[in-house]
């Protein structure tokens, strides 16, 4: 058996995914009718990511179930012990990751969220899913919250916060990566292209492929091979 497809995790995910569809509908509608675009979101992010986070405070902005299942499977195949997530929101992706840690039998997820009200809702959701004991939620800017208290090796990273910070967050974590660590980036689309250039160059110690989930949205998987 696995915790992802059994109660309480499966029930909490079903509920949250339904809530997310309703809450994020205006955003999806904006993308569909062209009144908002990924390009515009990138520009907002680069100009003032704090403003964008506040502006999107009611949105889940969550990964979809297929991507979540991929994250869960990757974390289990890697037997990830310490997982770091940049961008908690209401905790949907965190549930996929933490349930993998539960099934691995050991470890923890460190996740970080700028908006305190979102972090609080994530805490409640993780608690309902029976996973709160496996997750360290750090409230604040990832560039500060992930600076300290990473004990030992980081086996897996999910980058799903402000696009303009993907490379800076990865750089912060690099001293903790071991050969074989996995880095998944959701929407690695920062306007500078510096993140993709970094993980796209084997000389920096990475092998990278695009992921098939929303292929136009820059989702990537990188293997840290070591330098």
User: What does the binding site for ligand SAM look like in residue numbers (CB under 6 A)?
Assistant: 49, 53, 60-63, 87, 89, 92-93, 112-115, 118, 141-142, 160-162, 165
Q: Which of 41, 205 has the CB closer to ligand SAM? A: 41
| Element spanning 74, H or E | helix 65-77
Shortest Cβ 64–ligand SAM spacing (Å):
9
d(CA 187, CA 202): 21
Shortest distance (Å) from residue 3 CB to ligand SAM: 18
Of 104 and 112, which has the nearer Cβ to ligand SAM?
A: 112
| Least spacing, CB of residue 141 vs ligand SAM, in Å | 4
Task: Rank residues 160 and 190 by Cβ distance to ligand SAM and give the closer one.
Answer: 160
Contact indicator for 155, 182 with CB cutoff of 8 Å: yes
**Identity of the residue, 41 or 177, whose beta carbon is nearer to ligand SAM in the bound complex:** 41
φ/ψ region of 187 (left if φ > 0, alpha if ψ in -120 to 50, else beta) reads left
| Helix, coil or strand: residue 182 | strand
The minimum distance between CB 168 and ligand SAM, in angstroms, equals: 9
Is the CB of 63 or the CB of 74 nearer to ligand SAM? 63
Give the nearest distance from C-beta 13 to ligand SAM in angstroms. 11
- Of how many residues is the chain composed? 227
| Residue 112: strand pairing partners | 86, 138
CB of 89 to ligand SAM, least distance (A): 4
Calculate ∠ Cα 98-91-65, nearest 5°: 80
Residue 79: which region, alpha, beta or left (left: phi > 0; alpha: psi -120 to 50)? left
The Cα 159–Cα 174 span in angstroms is 13
**Which tokens belong to 200?**
């796209």
Q: Which of 160, 205 has the CB closer to ligand SAM? A: 160
Q: Which element (helix H / strand E) includes 195?
A: helix 194-199
């Amino acid at each position: 058996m696995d915790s992802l497809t059994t109660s309480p995790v499966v029930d909490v995910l079903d509920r949250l995914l339904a809530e997310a569809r309703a809450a994020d509908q205006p955003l999806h509608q904006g993308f569909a009718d062209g009144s908002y675009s990924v390009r515009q979101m990138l520009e907002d992010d680069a100009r003032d990511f704090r403003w964008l986070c506040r502006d999107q405070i009611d949105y889940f902005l969550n990964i979809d179930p297929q991507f979540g299942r991929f994250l869960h499977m990757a974390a289990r195949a890697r037997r990830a012990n310490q997982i770091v997530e940049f961008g908690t929101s209401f905790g949907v992706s965190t549930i996929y990751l933490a349930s993998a840690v539960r099934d691995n039998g050991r470890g923890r997820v460190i996740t970080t969220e700028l908006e305190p009200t979102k972090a609080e809702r994530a805490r409640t959701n993780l608690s309902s899913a029976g996973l709160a004991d496996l997750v360290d939620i750090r409230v604040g800017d990832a560039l500060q919250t992930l600076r300290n208290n990473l004990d030992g090796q980081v086996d897996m990273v999910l980058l799903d916060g402000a696009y303009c910070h993907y490379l800076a967050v990865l750089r912060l974590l690099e001293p903790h990566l071991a050969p074989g660590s996995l880095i998944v980036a959701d929407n690695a689309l920062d306007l500078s292209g510096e993140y993709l250039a970094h993980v796209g160059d084997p000389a920096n110690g990475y092998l990278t492929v695009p992921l098939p989930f929303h292929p136009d949205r820059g989702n990537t998987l990188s293997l840290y091979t070591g330098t």
